[in-house]
Amino acid sequence: MARKNAVYAQSGGVTSVINASAYGVIMAAREASFIDEVYGGYDGINGVLTEKLIDLGQEPPEAIEALRHTPAGALGSARRKLQDLEKNRAEFQRIIEVLAAHDVGYFFYNGGNDSMDTTAKLSRFAAENDYPLQVIGIPKTIDNDLPITDNSPGFGSVAKYNAVSILEGSLDTESMHRDSTKVFVLETMGRNAGWIAASTGLAQRSERDGPHLILLPEVPFDKEKFLAAVQELVSRLGYCAVAVSEGTKDGEGKFLSEVGGQDAFGHTQLGGAGQFIQDLVNSELKLEHPSSTFPTF
C-alpha cells in the first residue's frame, strides 16, 4: 500500500489538553506504516483552505515533546464552520484540491460538535468525488456534550478547575459564615449541558462540604424549591454553596440570565445566572449576611 500524508488541524475554543491530542496524533502517525508526513493546518480548516500547512516533521523533537504541556492551541484554531455542501461546494472542492496537491490520505480534525459535522461532510464529499480520504474526528470539548463519546478530552481539566474553585469558596465560606456570608454561588460554563456544573460535585467529600446544590440546564429552575433548600441548608449547616450552570433555565425555558432579578431598591438587575441566584437569595431570604458570588467572597 502506498504511503500517504496526513493533515491534523485544531478547531473551536482551545482546551488545556488540545495540544496533548496533537502530540498523540503526531506520535501515532510516525509509528504508522501507511502514513508518511504529518502536516498541521494553521488556524484549523483555514490553513487547509489557504494552503498554510506546517510540516510537523521539520519541528525539533523537543517542540513535539513539549506539546503535551503546551497551553492554548499550538497550531491556531478556527471558529469557521463549513457551510452545507449544497450551499458551498466550492469550499469543499478547494479542500480536496489542497489535500490532493499534498498527497494527503488522512485528515484528523480536532474539535467539538461543529467540527465533527465538518468531518462528516468532508468524508461524504470526498467519497462522492472518488478522492480516497480517511477523515477522523478527534473529540475536544470542555462541555462533554459530544454525542456518543463518554468523556471528552478537555472536560477533565475544566471539571478539576471548577471542583477546586467551589471547594476553595466553600471552605472559606464555611470558616467565616458565623459572622459573614452564608451562601456562596459559583457560576460555571455549560450553555446546553450540565456536565461542568455537575462536576463540581467531585468536591463534596462529606455532607458538610460544598457544593450542596447544583443547578443544571437539564432541570427547570424551581424558585420556591430552591429557596426552601437554601434556607434549610443554612439552618442546618450554617452555610451553603451553590453551583449554577450558565445555561440554567426557568420553567418556561428562559435562561436565568435573561429573567433578571431585582436589587434591594427594586431595580432590575442584569447579569449572569450566578448574579441572578445571588440577587434572589439576598432579596428573598432574610439571612443575617448577604450571599456572595465568586470571586468576591
- Interface residues with its own copies (CB under 8 A)? 13-14, 43-44, 46, 71-74, 76-80, 168, 171-172, 174-176, 178-180, 189, 246, 269-271, 275, 289, 295-297
| Distance of closest approach, residue 80 Cβ to its own copies, in angstroms | 6
143 is catalytic: yes
Antiparallel, parallel or unpaired: β 240-245 and 213-215: parallel
Nearer to its own copies, 152 or 188 (CB): 188
Nearer to its own copies, 55 or 263 (CB): 263
Nearer to its own copies, 226 or 297 (CB): 297
Residue 136, CA distances (Å) to 19, 30, 115, 215, 285 in order:
17, 16, 10, 35, 53
In the set 143, 150, 209, 250, the catalytic residue is 143
| Distance of closest approach, residue 188 Cβ to its own copies, in angstroms | 9
Nearer to its own copies, 5 or 188 (CB): 188
| Preceding amide of 71 cis, omega within 30 | no
Nearer to its own copies, 78 or 233 (CB): 78
Please identify every residue annotated as catalytic: 143
